[in-house]
Structure 1
Amino acid sequence: MLRVLLIEDHQTVRDGLQMALTRQGHTVDAVATGEQGLAYLHEDACDVVLLDLMLPGMDGFEVCQRIRSLGDLPIIILTARNDDIDIVAGLEAGADDYVVKPVRARVLEARIRAVLRRAGGEIRRSGGEPVEQHGALTIDRAALVVRRNGVPVGLAPTELRLLLELSRAPGQVLSRQQLLKAVWEHGYLGDSRLVDACVQRLRAKIEDDSSKPVLVQTVRGFGYRFGPL
């Protein structure tokens, strides 16, 4: 049984999702505003946050950023439109995944399970030396710790999985489809926005200059390659 925090201002949607997730055996705490959601998180714990983007007062983008600043709690954003701008902005704000309304309970349950598997540390470890040095970046695969210039880098679970997948074979180009399959699992094939937004967040944490990436390089028309070469 999971503890879910649902932040959704539309009462009909909120009640419907709360009922559907409760039927799945979860405990669902539902609030109508971002302010209420943040107040809840300061007092109680949960396993995953479902966050509507279009909220009154503090919008979902700011709420997402604030939740992410508190730690690695998995966040799935809910959006009423399959809109690139909104979805990418939500992912760049720190969300792990998104679902477009109207939400099908079975799809939502699968997305929740997937982000929790990533957060739970189910990460494949490669053979060979568990600690790797890539310029200023150190990757300890055994401990699942990343350091930059000796200082630990705080990566969300999805960011860590992406880095580990890219760095498995430096110099090898991995397509967005390959990364979607390895990091986000089979059901997510076809949506490169998840990869691109996560790459941007990862670069901001591990590159000297994220606008001129050296470690995670774009190979135009193909995907990404881990360097430095």
Structure 2
Amino acid sequence: MRATILIIDDHQSVRTMVADYLAEQDYHVVTAADGEEGLVVAKRTKPDLILLDIMMPKLDGLGFLQAFRRDNTAPVIMLTARVEETDKVVGLELGADDYLTKPFGMKELLARVRAHLRRVKLANLGPSTEELIRVGDLSLNRVTREVLVGDQPANLTPSEFGLLEAMMAAPGRVFSREQLLELLQGNAYEGVERTIDVHIRNLRRKIEADPTHPHYIETVFGAGYRCRHRPT
């Protein structure tokens, strides 16, 4: 089955250009002109991935993210003309998985799309090793994509799940920010390592009792991050 990609952008020329290109790559493409329409289309079509502009009328990309992430985990790649790092960080904190700064090359866009869809597809195929990973009161199910803290579910984005899975599967191993960024985006990555810091901060908010004193995901200063406990 072809993956469905939703493009949300208020510029018709951008929607048409990207939609035509992705359709040529055998993706099913749907579009929306603003965040409000995007929520309606997303509910109807249940896209596998979303390409999201930030600056839009009615409901901008950040507002869309806030609403969409309440009960959806499909990967979201921001398409933004903004160059300030703080704008990108806000989007990541609201649940975006990645971003591309306009203008961007179509081959780069395709590589990012493929990387995120491939990661989700591999996860959905089932575990290559053990199905369930446990670290203390934290458990991660590779088949159902569920994460529990005790008996409470943690609603993670695909990027947060991918980072947590990698670190829980290799307890004690230190992952550099560059390694984690490549894990998320494949060989196509060009994002800043700051992206990983934002994802880790979001992840800690969802799994740690006190995110300022993390019990599970430890910062190794000057090196990166690691899962600090061994599986039970």
Could you say whether these structures have the same fold, taking a TM-score greater than 0.5 normalized by the shorter chain as the test? yes
The count of corresponding residues between Structure 1 and Structure 2 is: 228
Three-state SS of the structure 2 residue aligned to 1:167 is helix
Residues 55, 61 of structure 2: 8 Å contact kept: yes
Structure 1, unaligned runs of 5 or more: none
Displacement of 1:200 in angstroms is: 1.5
Deviations 1:11-33 (A, max 9, x none): 22222222222332333222211
Instruction: Give the 5 Å matches for 1:38-187.
Output: 38-122=39-123, 130-141=131-142, 144-187=145-188
Specify whether residues 22 and 45 from structure 1 end up closer, same or farther in structure 2 by C-alpha distance, changes over 3 A only. Answer: same
Three-state SS of the structure 1 residue aligned to 2:83 is coil
Deviations 1:168-204 (A, max 9, x none): 3323322111222333322215621331121112111
Counterpart CA distance in 2 for 1:82 and 1:16 is 22
Three-state SS of the structure 1 residue aligned to 2:156 is coil
Displacement of 1:146 in angstroms is: 2.3
Counterpart CA distance in 1 for 2:221 and 2:64 is 33
TM-score for both structures, normalised by structure 1: 0.88
Instruction: Identify the range of structure 1 (85-94 vs 175-184) with the bigger mean alpha-carbon deviation.
Output: 175-184
Displacement of 1:152 in angstroms is: 3.0
TM-score for both structures, normalised by structure 2: 0.87
Displacement of 1:90 in angstroms is: 1.0
Specify whether residues 139 and 46 from structure 1 end up closer, same or farther in structure 2 by C-alpha distance, changes over 3 A only. Answer: closer
Structure 2, unaligned runs of 5 or more: none
Q: Which amino acid aligns with 2:158?
A: P
Q: Which amino acid aligns with 1:134?
A: V
